[in-house]
Chain A
Amino acid sequence: MTRLHQFAFFDEGSKKEIRRTILKAISIPGYQVPFSSREMPIARGWGTGGLQVTLAIIGQEDVLKVIDQGSDESVNAVNIKKLVEKTTGVTITEKTAEATIIQSRHRIPEQTLTEGQVLVLQVPAPEPLRSVEKSERQTKILHAEEEYSGAWLQLFEQIMKYGQTNTGADHPVYVAGRYVMAPSPIPRFDNHKMNHSEALILLGAGREKKIYAVPPYTDVRSLAFEDYPFTVESFATEACHLCGATDTYLDEIIDADKDKVYYQCNDSHHCLERVNGVIEGKGDISYA
């Protein structure tokens, strides 16, 4: 059978360049390596960084899972899945444990990733110091000299203004005790999953043309002051209205018609598996 295009969309030269960038990124944990981000069939800002990483590392035996904000079925995830499936023919799955490559936007799956898996995160803004320093030239110098007052200052300002750090997502982390890194807009809830992760984590920013990485078993610490320890989002006593989970990241859903607020697992696949009794977790399953 003749294929209409290269395997995994890219020509071999492009894949080689991206793979070389990835290797460098893995060698220097948390360091943003520039690469020649390519034009993709989807627009920049819609996951082209993650997509390029996925296409560069995927092989015929790989099994791919793509999620967007915890959901396997949102438009962005479905489109990326379709593109990769069409150009590679690899198996697509929704099961976290089955996948060898998981491309994600805004979440790290609830189920702990294991050795041999690769998590690819889509990154809109890779530079953690950007809001205090506009110039790329200057931020490069700041990283080189390990001068991260700017990142700390942002947290200090939040504490001064709101009495606590209020980073909704993308709370900066120290990687391997050297580079401060933007973990991509995952909630603080997911930050600890990066610390000593068994799976390799690759982060791709298409618009900003940067790739960086957290190799397996790397120290990843969330920035926090001595007297204001790092905290994650709290859902108090709420539980998922579908699977009853109390140990997962919940979405708040407001039903305006019934004037009711209810909570639901953000990771849709994890929720489904719990309902089906495939996996266990904290909290009772209620069929209310």
Chain B
Amino acid sequence: MHDEPILKIQRLEKVFGRGCSHCQHEDTRQLEKNFCPYCGTVYACRNISFELFPGEILGIVGESGSGKSTLMQCLYFDETATGGEMFINHEDFKGKNIFALSNQQKRNVRNHILGMVYQNPTKGLKMNFSSIGNIAEKLIAAGNRHVGEMERVGMELLDKVHIPLFRMKEEPKRFSGGMQQRVQIAKALSNYPPILFLDEVTTGLDLSVQASVLDLIKTIQREMGISMIVVSHDLAVIRMLADRTMVMLNGEVIEAGLTDQVLEDPQDAYTQQLVYSLL
């Protein structure tokens, strides 16, 4: 294993609302699940710290509303984290707290270092633009101005995710759900990001398509050595993909460790319940 983590998150917080005298202090706050019963402020992510190593897949599990997706959105800057620090081991940003950078610089990080696959393809794709155009969008954002080259990269990736090339100029709105998801993966991979975020990518896909998408993710990780964070509420997905796993509940990480360890010998009461409720 490598020593230097490629991504390091320290004490990430995401709060929706202003907070009140009852909930502003971390030690004395009395929350009902993840919100304050007095003022309704939602503490979506609380004191989350973790590290991601090169080539590793980190799984995040938890029930809906536990803060998994909010965490991902903060990491991809779709949402602004309320507090905490983010470090990326990259020559341009060494030792800099990424959350403290300007929006323009964050966009730069996002365009060059990160990739994201959303649960809902409508969020990650422009449904009225061609599939090849969608991939080019990410390349254009990363500064590419050469049509021929972008077309070549796009075709290579579409082929990799098994989209027939004769349909590359079609809009994703005319594709099936599984195909849309694969176009999204191709788009996220287009500038070869060292870090990729996958938010519930297989949810809502039928089993055979799920299997092929998972297979694809695993292949990409092996071939390209990309580090990934995979969010899912499906333990089978986590078991298959993730090297290490974090369990989230009510905005907090309640358990973390090697995936096998967490799933075979859960320590926390909630994790035990989660693992044993598996049919």
Which residues of A approach B to under 8 Å, CB–CB? 132, 141, 144-147, 149-150, 152-153, 156-157, 159-161, 225-228
A178 shortest CB reach to chain B, Å: 12
Do A226 and B133 have beta carbons less than 8 Å apart?
A: no
Cβ contacts B139-160/A at 8 Å (1 or 0 each)? 0110001111111000000000
Q: Give the residues in chain B near A146, CB-CB below 8 Å.
A: 104
Q: How far is A150 from B133 in the complex, measured between Cα atoms in Å? A: 10
B169 within 8 A of A: yes
B172 shortest CB reach to chain A, Å: 13
Q: How far is A149 from B150 in the complex, measured between Cα atoms in Å? A: 13
Q: How far is A39 from B261 in the complex, measured between Cα atoms in Å? A: 71
Cβ contacts B191-219/A at 8 Å (1 or 0 each)? 00000000000000000000000000000
Do B136 and A153 have beta carbons less than 8 Å apart?
A: yes
Q: Which residue of A lies closest to B143 (CB)?
A: A149
Q: How far is A225 from B104 in the complex, measured between Cα atoms in Å? A: 23
With A146-B104, A156-B136, A157-B133 as known contacts, state yes or no: A225 contacts B145, CB within 8 Å.
Answer: yes
B233 within 8 A of A: no
Do B133 and A145 have beta carbons less than 8 Å apart?
A: no
Q: How far is A161 from B128 in the complex, measured between Cα atoms in Å? A: 13
Which residues of B approach A to under 8 Å, CB–CB? 103-104, 107, 126, 129-130, 132-133, 136-137, 140-141, 145-151, 169
Q: How far is A152 from B132 in the complex, measured between Cα atoms in Å? A: 14
Q: Give the residues in chain B near A145, CB-CB below 8 Å.
A: 103-104, 107
With A153-B140, A156-B150 as known contacts, state yes or no: A147 contacts B133, CB within 8 Å.
Answer: no
Q: How far is A147 from B140 in the complex, measured between Cα atoms in Å? A: 10
Q: How far is A161 from B132 in the complex, measured between Cα atoms in Å? A: 11
B236 shortest CB reach to chain A, Å: 37
A146 shortest CB reach to chain B, Å: 7
Number of CB contacts from chain A to chain B under 8 A: 49
Q: Give the residues in chain B near A153, CB-CB below 8 Å.
A: 126, 129, 133, 136-137, 140
Do A157 and B145 have beta carbons less than 8 Å apart?
A: no
Do B141 and A160 have beta carbons less than 8 Å apart?
A: no
Most buried by B among A149, A227, A228: A149
Q: What are 27 A-B pairs at a CB distance below 8 A?
A: A144-B103, A145-B103, A145-B104, A145-B107, A146-B104, A147-B107, A147-B141, A149-B137, A149-B141, A150-B137, A152-B145, A153-B126, A153-B129, A153-B133, A153-B136, A153-B137, A153-B140, A156-B147, A156-B150, A157-B133, A159-B147, A160-B130, A160-B169, A225-B147, A226-B146, A227-B147, A228-B147
- Find A156's partner among B103, B104, B107, B133 (CB 8 Å cutoff): B133
- Give 6 nearest A-B pairs by CB, closest first: A149-B141, A152-B140, A149-B140, A145-B104, A226-B146, A225-B147
Q: Give the residues in chain A near B150, CB-CB below 8 Å.
A: 156
Do A157 and B107 have beta carbons less than 8 Å apart?
A: no
B155 shortest CB reach to chain A, Å: 11
Q: How far is A156 from B145 in the complex, measured between Cα atoms in Å? A: 10
- Find B126's partner among A132, A159, A225 (CB 8 Å cutoff): A132
- Find B146's partner among A144, A147, A161, A225 (CB 8 Å cutoff): A225
With A145-B103, A145-B107, A149-B137 as known contacts, state yes or no: A157 contacts B146, CB within 8 Å.
Answer: no
Do A160 and B140 have beta carbons less than 8 Å apart?
A: no
Q: Which residue of B lies closest to A153 (CB)?
A: B137
Q: Give the residues in chain B near A147, CB-CB below 8 Å.
A: 107, 141
Q: Give the residues in chain B near A152, CB-CB below 8 Å.
A: 140, 145
Can you add 8 more A-B contacts, CB < 8 Å, to A149-B140, A157-B129, A226-B147? A132-B126, A145-B107, A149-B137, A156-B136, A157-B133, A160-B132, A160-B133, A225-B145
